[in-house]
Chain A
Amino acid sequence: GGIITQTPKFLIGQEGQKLTLKCQQNFNHDTMYWYRQDSGKGLRLIYYSITENDLQKGDLSEGYDASREKKSSFSLTVTSAQKNEMAVFLCASSIGGPVFFGKGTRLTVV
C-alpha cells in the first residue's frame, strides 16, 4: 500500500506571510488534489493536477498558488495569509478510481 505525507502537520503564520505546504505520495498516482476544510464544513477544492507540471484551478483557487514539480509531489502556497484564518488543508491523490487522503496540515494565522 501507499501513503500520502503532508508537511508540516501544524503551521502557524503571520498575517501577510507567504506559506508553503508540501505533499508527497508514493502510490504513483497521476492526479493530485489540494482541498481546504474549515471547521464543521465540507471540503473545497483549491487546485488539482492531472500530471507532472499540470495545474487546474478548483473552486477556491484565489489567494493560492500550486506547483506539481514531479509526479510524486504537489505543493500549495498561501500567497498572503489572512489574520485569524484557521483551516485544515488536505492533499489527496488518485488514478481515476478511489481518492486517498493525507492527514492534513492545520493552519493558524495570528
Chain B
Amino acid sequence: GQQVQQSPASLVLQEGENAELQCNFSTSLNSMQWFYQRPGGSLVSLFYNPSGTKHSGRLTSTTVIKERRSSLHISSSQTTDSGTYLCALALNTGNYKYVFGAGTRLKVIA
C-alpha cells in the first residue's frame, strides 16, 4: 500500500483563511520534510521536522510520530501561497529511501 498519503489533494481558500495540510505515513520514520513548489518551479524546503513543532512566519509544522502524521498549518493565507505542498519521508526501514506524498495543490484567491 501507499506509504505516504497527503490530504486534501487540492484546496481553494479565500485570502486570509487558514489551512491545515496533512501527511500520514504507514510506519515509523527517520526523517520528515515539507516542501513548496510553484508550477514549473523548483522545490523549496519549508521545514525539516522529524518530530515536534516548528514555526516559520505564518507556517507551522507539527509531527507526531506515535500517531504517524505530520501537518502543515498556513495562517492568514495569501495569494502568493498558491502552489503545491509536498511532504517527504525517510521511513525507519534501515535504508535511506526518501519517498514523497502526491502533494496538496493549494489555490488562494483574492
- A interface vs B, CB < 8 Å? 31, 33, 35, 40-45, 48, 50, 56, 58-59, 90, 92, 94, 96-101, 103-104
Q: Is the CB of B101 within 8 A of A50?
A: no
- B interface vs A, CB < 8 Å? 30-31, 33, 42-43, 45, 48, 86, 88, 90, 95-103, 105
Give the total number of A-B pairs whose CB atoms are below 8 A apart: 55
* B45 proximity list for chain A (CB < 8 A): 98-101
Most chain A beta-carbon neighbours within 10 Å: one of B30, B98, B101: B98
Q: Is the CB of A104 within 8 A of B42?
A: yes
CA distance A56 to B33 in the complex (A): 21
Given A48-B96, A94-B98, A98-B48, list of 20 further CB < 8 A pairs? A33-B98, A40-B105, A41-B102, A42-B101, A43-B86, A43-B88, A44-B100, A45-B99, A56-B95, A59-B99, A90-B43, A92-B98, A94-B31, A96-B31, A98-B45, A99-B45, A99-B88, A99-B98, A101-B42, A101-B45
Q: Please give me the residue from chain B that is nearest to A31 by CB atom.
A: B96
Q: Please give me the residue from chain A that is nearest to B50 by CB atom.
A: A97
* A103 proximity list for chain B (CB < 8 A): 42
Please pick, from B33, B42, B95, B103, the residue contacting A99 in the complex, using a CB distance under 8 A.
B33
Q: Is the CB of A98 within 8 A of B97?
A: no
Most chain A beta-carbon neighbours within 10 Å: one of B33, B90, B100, B103: B100
